[in-house]
Amino acid sequence: MSQDKNTFASGTNAAYIESMYEDYRKDPSSLDDSWQKFFEGYEFGLTAVVEPTGERREDAKVEAYINAYRRLGYLAAYLNPLDPKPEIPENLHVTSHELDHVDANRKFLTANFGTGEMTFAEITKKLQETYCGSIGPDFRDSNNVEEVVWLQQIMEAHNNKPSVSAESKKRILQKLGEAEALEHFLQTRYLGQKRFSVEGLDALIPLLDGMIDEAVNVGVHEITMGMAHRGRLNVLTHILKKPYERLLLEFEGQVFNSFDIEGDVKYHMGYAHDVETFSGKKVRIYLSPNPSHLEAINAPIAGFTRARQEHDEGSSEGILPIILHGDAAIIGQGVVAEVLNLSQLQHYGTGGTIHIITNNQIGFTTNPSAAKSCAFSSDISKMIRMPVLHVNADDPEAVAWVTKIAIAYRHKFKKDILIDLVGYRRYGHNETDEPSFTQPIMYKKIAEHPTVFQIYSKKLIAEGVVTEEESASYLSSVKELLNEAQKSVHTKGFVAHPTPAPAAFKDILAYRKPDRNEVMASVITHVSEAKLKELAQEILNIDKTFTPHPKIIRLLENRAKMMEGAGAVDWGFAELLAFASLADQKYPVRLSGQDCKRGTFSSRHAVLFDYETGKANELLQKKNWAPVNVINSPLSELGCMGFEFGYSVGNPNTLVLWEAQYGDFVNGAQILMDQFLVASEAKWQQTSGLVLLLPHGHEGAGPEHTSARPERFLQSCGNLNIQVCNVTTPAQMFHLLRRQILRNFRKPLVLMSPKSLLRHPKVISELKDFTSTTFKEFLDDTDLKSGSKAERLMMCTGKIYYELTELREKNPDFAHVPILRLEQLYPFPYEGLSELFQARYPQVREVIWVQEEPQNMGAWTFVRARIPRISDTIHKVDYVGRKNSGSTAEGSAKAHTAEQKRILEEAFALATAKTPQRLARK
Ligand SMILES: Cc1ncc(C[n+]2csc(CCOP(=O)(O)OP(=O)(O)O)c2C)c(N)n1
Ligand SMILES: [Mg+2]
C-alpha cells in the first residue's frame, strides 16, 4: 500500500478509487481509518437501494398500486353520462404493477388504506369504487400532505359512496323535478325564447341546494354567487327563490321591477334573498348580475365577497363564495387565472371559493378537443393545485357527496376547491339553435338519453323510497305552480311578493338615481387647519425604533415642512392627507395596484420599510382611524381592477381606489370598464364608487407609458354614469377624493393622474386650499386680473396647463391670454362655466382647445361639441394639439420635445393672431 493511497484527501480519481475499493474488499485494514469509513458508508448505501425481496417487495408494489389509483384513478372514473364507462388505463393494470401473479385472496397489510389488512381483490374493489366510480377525484397535485391525507380518508372511508337517507333522496328527486319541470314549461309556453336551459346538467339544482344546506350547517350565513347564462333561470327560481311570476313576466316581455333592477336580459339578472335551507335554517344568498362576457364576473364577485367578509361580518367563515363556470369558458378565459391567483393573497382571499364547472362537454358549437390543450377544463385550477372532484351529473347521489366534501374542505382548509359536474346539453347552445349541424353523433345520443329525473326516479322507485305517483307529483306540482303563476301574470299583471332584499344588503341594493343637481352640487370637503396638522403629525409620527432609508428621512422632513407657514403641500402628501382625513372620519380606504405602497413614481411612500430589518411600517394604519390598506397587487389588470370594482359594490362606505402602473395598462381591464364600470348602474342599478388612478401625460416616454386613453372613457359617458377628471393641484385631488365618499351616492371616478407633476415645483397647494375650499370642476385663470376684454381664451385639461403658463410667463405678448383648466370633464360643468363666462369673459368669441394628445384622442372630440354651449358669444372652437394618429405618442424623446414646443407656440400664435376673419368663421 503506497503512502498516497492512504491519504483520503488525494482520492479524487475514479479509477484510483476503484482500485482502493478492491483493496478494501480484500482487506479493510489495509486502508487508513478515513477510507475504511468511506467504504463502509458506500457499502451501506448499496444495500439500502437493493430491491426488496419476497413479502416486502410485494407489499411495496401493492402500496404503489394503491397510490397509483389515488393519483390517477379519476382517469377511469365513469364521468360522461353519454359514453360507456372507460377502460382502466394501462398504468393502473395489475400487470403494470407486476401484481398479475398475485392471488386475489392473498392478504396484504395496508397501513393507511381500508381496514389495514385486506385481500388483494378487496383492495382493487375498494380502489375502483372510490376512485373510478361516478366520482373522479384529482387531488394528488397538492403540495400539502395534510390536505391529501384528509381527502383520501374522507373519500376512502365509504368508498366515495356513503349511504343517503330516504329523506335526502326525496329532496334530491324533488329538486331534479323542479329543474326539469321549469325548463319544460318554458320550452312549451315560450317556444323560441332563449333561456340557456340547464337540462343535461339538472343535477346542478340539487347540488346547490345541498351545498347551501351543508354550508349553513358548518356556520355559513351568507352565500355570494357568480355565474354565467347556463341554468341561471333555474338557479334564480329554485335556489334564490325568485318568484315564478317575476320570471314569467320577463318572458312575457313586460316591464318588470325586480329590486328596481331593470335594463338587461333575463339571464343576466341578479337577485338577493333570504332562503330557508333543507334543514330549516336561514341563509342570505346574493347572485350578482353579470354580463355576457363569460368569466368576467369572477373578479367582481371575489371583491364583493371580500368586502362583505371584511367590513360587514369580519371573517371569511360565515360568507361563502360560489362561482359557476362553463367548461369552454373556464379554460379559455385568462381572467380565470388572474382571479385564482388572488385566492390566497392577504388582501384578496375569501377563505376559499367553491368552483363548479357546469360541464356539458361543449362550448356553443365547439368540441372540447378544440377548446383546450389539456385533458380537462378544470386543469386551469392546477395553477393553485386545488382539489378537483369530477362527478357524473347523472348520479345525483355522487353529486351530493362531492358537495359535502367541498364544503368540509373549504371549512377546514379555507382554500378553493372545484367540482367538475360532467353532463351534457340537451338542446342547442340556446333553444333556437340546431346542435346536430355540428355535433350530429352527440345529439343522436342525447335524443335517446333519459333525463336525470327519469333515471333517479326509476332508482328510487326500485328502492321503494318513492312511489310512481309520488315521483310524478314532483313534476306535476311544479307545473301547476307555473300554470298559476302564468295565469296570474296574464290576468293581474305582476303582484309584488313580499320578498324585499335582505336587510344586510340594504346599502348595496337600495337604489336612488341622483339627479344632475345633486351630482353637480358642491360638497363640504375641507378640514380645519388644526385637523390637517393633526393628521400630518399622525402620519409622520414614526416609532423611534424604526430606521428609515436615508433618503426617506429627507422625505419625512420635507413633508413636515409642508405644514409650516402658508404650507406647500405636494401631490403625494395631499393624497395621504385625504386618506387620513377619511380614515379619521371612520371611512376605510383601500388602495391597490401594482407597486402602490411606494408608488410607481416613488411619490407616495404610504408604507415605509425599515432600513435595518425590512419590516413594513404602514403610515396610514392608526389606532383611532378606520383601516387604510395600501396594497401591492399582483401583476394583473382585469382580475385586480375587477376585484376592486366588486369590493366597491360590496362596501359603499369604503373609498376604493385602483391604480394602474401607467394609465396605458388600464385597457387590460377593458371588459371591466365597458361591461361593469360605465354600465352597471344603467343595466343593473348597481352602483360603485371605485376610483381609477391612471397616470397620464405626454412626457417623451414613447407610445406606451403615456396615455390612459381618456377619449375612451369620455365616449362611454352618458346619463351621469361616471365622472372623468384630470386635476392639476394637490388640493383639488384632496377634495375630489373626499367628495367621492362624503356624498350620499356613488359614481365611479376615472382620474387621469400625474407623473411629472408629482415633482413639479408649481404643483403644490397652500394650507388654505385644504381648509377653506372645495373641489372645483374647472379652475379660472386667477393669474389674470380681468378677463372682461378677452375675445379668445384657451381651455385645456391636465399637465399642459403648466407648460402653457410657463411660456406665457416668458412672453409679455401672451400675458393677456386667459387659460382655463377643465378639471372635471364629465359631467361637463356647463352651469359653472356659463356663469364664469358671463361674469369674467363676456366677450369671448373663440375658444382654443389645447391638448397634448393626438386629435383623435384626448378630450377634443368630447369638448368640441360642448364648449359652444357654455356661452352664446362663443362662435368658434379651435384645436391645437397633435395631429390624428394611430399611436398615442412619438417614439423618440427628441421628437416629443419638438412637438410639445410646437403645440405651445401654435396655441399662443392662434390666441394672439390679429386675423379678425378667423374670428368671424364659425
Ligand atoms: C367573452 C365571451 N366570448 C364569447 C362569448 C360568446 N359565447 C357565449 S356562450 C359561449 C360558449 C360557452 O361555452 P361554455 O363555457 O362551455 O358554456 P355553456 O354555454 O356550454 O354552458 C360563447 C362562445 C361570450 N359570451 N363571452
Ligand atoms: Mg359548455
What digits encode the pLDDT tens for the residues 316-366?
899 999 999 999 999 999 999 999 999 999 999 999 999 999 999 999 999
- Identify the residue whose C-alpha is closest to ligand 1 atom 26: 293
CB of 292 sitting under 6 A from ligand 1: yes
Q: What's the pLDDT at 496?
A: 52
Q: Which fold has domain 522-771?
A: Rossmann fold (3.40.50)
How large a percentage of the chain has pLDDT more than 70?
A: 93
Please give the mean pLDDT across all residues of the chain. 92
Residue 54's pLDDT band (cuts 50, 70, 90): low
C-alpha of residue 328 to centroid of ligand 1, in Å: 7
- Residue 243's nearest CA partner among 470, 445, 496 is 496
Q: What's the pLDDT at 35?
A: 74
Number of H helices, E strands in the chain: 33, 24
* pLDDT, tens digit, 9 for 90 and up, residues 764-779: 999 999 999 999 999 9
Q: What's the pLDDT at 500?
A: 61
Mean pLDDT, residues 641-661: 97
Rg (CA), the chain: 35
CB of 475 sitting under 6 A from ligand 1: no
Neighbours of ion ligand 2 (CB under 5 A): 326-328, 360, 362-363
Q: Could you say which ligand is closest to the alpha carbon of residue 228?
A: 1
Q: What's the pLDDT at 43?
A: 63
- Identify the residue whose C-alpha is closest to ligand 1 atom 9: 364
- Identify the residue whose C-alpha is closest to ligand 1 atom 1: 293
Q: What's the pLDDT at 901?
A: 97
Asked if the model's pLDDT at residue 287 lies above 80, the reply is yes
- Residue 510's nearest CA partner among 649, 643, 644, 642 is 649
Q: What's the pLDDT at 3?
A: 40
Kind and range of the H or E run holding 67: helix 54-72
- Identify the residue whose C-alpha is closest to ligand 1 atom 10: 364
Dist CA 644 CA 575 (whole Å): 19
C-alpha of residue 364 to centroid of ligand 2, in Å: 7
Q: What's the pLDDT at 508?
A: 83
Asked if the model's pLDDT at residue 611 lies above 80, the reply is yes
Mean pLDDT, residues 575-581: 98
Asked if the model's pLDDT at residue 204 lies above 70, the reply is yes
Mean pLDDT, residues 105-110: 94
- Residue 871's nearest CA partner among 815, 762, 790, 800 is 790
Q: What's the pLDDT at 12?
A: 42
Mean pLDDT, residues 722-726: 98
Residue 22's pLDDT band (cuts 50, 70, 90): confident
CB of 358 sitting under 6 A from ligand 1: yes
Ordered by start, the domain boundaries in the chain are: 11-46, 54-78+85-156, 166-254+262-491, 522-771, 783-911
Residue 6's pLDDT band (cuts 50, 70, 90): very low
* Atom of ligand 1 lying closest to residue 325 CA: 15
Query: What length does the chain have?
Result: 922
* Atom of ligand 1 lying closest to residue 359 CA: 16
- Identify the residue whose C-alpha is closest to ligand 1 atom 20: 363
Q: What's the pLDDT at 42?
A: 62
C-alpha of residue 560 to centroid of ligand 2, in Å: 60
* pLDDT, tens digit, 9 for 90 and up, residues 894-911: 999 999 999 999 999 999
CB of 764 sitting under 6 A from ligand 1: no
DSSP classification of residue 814: G
CB of 367 sitting under 6 A from ligand 1: no
- Which CATH number is 783-911's, of 3.40.50.11610, 3.40.190.290, 3.40.50.300, 3.20.19.10? 3.40.50.11610
- Identify the residue whose C-alpha is closest to ligand 1 atom 7: 364
Q: Which of 364, 372, 421 to mutate to test the pocket of ligand 1 (most atoms within 8 A of CB)?
A: 364
What the block records as the C-alpha cell of 155 is: 373519500
Domain 166-254+262-491 CATH class label: alpha beta
C-alpha of residue 271 to centroid of ligand 1, in Å: 22
- Identify the residue whose C-alpha is closest to ligand 1 atom 22: 364
CB of 750 sitting under 6 A from ligand 1: no
Same fold, 166-254+262-491 and 522-771: yes
Mean pLDDT, residues 51-75: 86
* pLDDT, tens digit, 9 for 90 and up, residues 806-864: 999 999 999 999 999 999 999 999 999 999 999 999 999 999 999 999 999 999 999 99
Kind and range of the H or E run holding 335: helix 334-340
Q: What's the pLDDT at 818?
A: 96
C-alpha of residue 385 to centroid of ligand 2, in Å: 23
C-alpha of residue 331 to centroid of ligand 1, in Å: 11
CB of 112 sitting under 6 A from ligand 1: no
Beta-strand (E) ranges in 566-698? Answer: 589-593, 607-609, 616-618, 628-632, 655-659, 691-695
CB of 230 sitting under 6 A from ligand 1: yes
Q: What's the pLDDT at 509?
A: 82
Q: Which residues pair with 796 in a beta bridge?
A: 821
CB of 546 sitting under 6 A from ligand 1: no
Dist CA 72 CA 110 (whole Å): 19
Mean pLDDT, residues 86-94: 95
Beginning with the edge strand found earlier in the chain, give each strand of the sheet holding 778-779 in spatial order: 778-779, 819-822, 792-796, 846-854, 876-882
Beta-strand (E) ranges in 24-168? Answer: 107-109, 117-119, 135-138
Mean pLDDT, residues 15-25: 72
Q: What's the pLDDT at 102?
A: 95
* pLDDT, tens digit, 9 for 90 and up, residues 227-285: 999 999 999 999 999 999 989 988 887 654 444 444 677 677 788 999 999 999 999 99
pTM of the model as a whole: 0.92
Sign, CA torsion 757/761/762/766: positive
CB of 181 sitting under 6 A from ligand 1: no
* Atom of ligand 1 lying closest to residue 326 CA: 15
Q: What's the pLDDT at 495?
A: 57
CB of 329 sitting under 6 A from ligand 1: yes
Q: What's the pLDDT at 510?
A: 81
Asked if the model's pLDDT at residue 32 lies above 90, the reply is no
Q: Which of 183, 196, 232, 294 to mutate to test the pocket of ligand 1 (most atoms within 8 A of CB)?
A: 294
Q: What's the pLDDT at 365?
A: 95
Dist CA 193 CA 202 (whole Å): 19
Q: What's the pLDDT at 298?
A: 98
Q: What's the pLDDT at 494?
A: 62
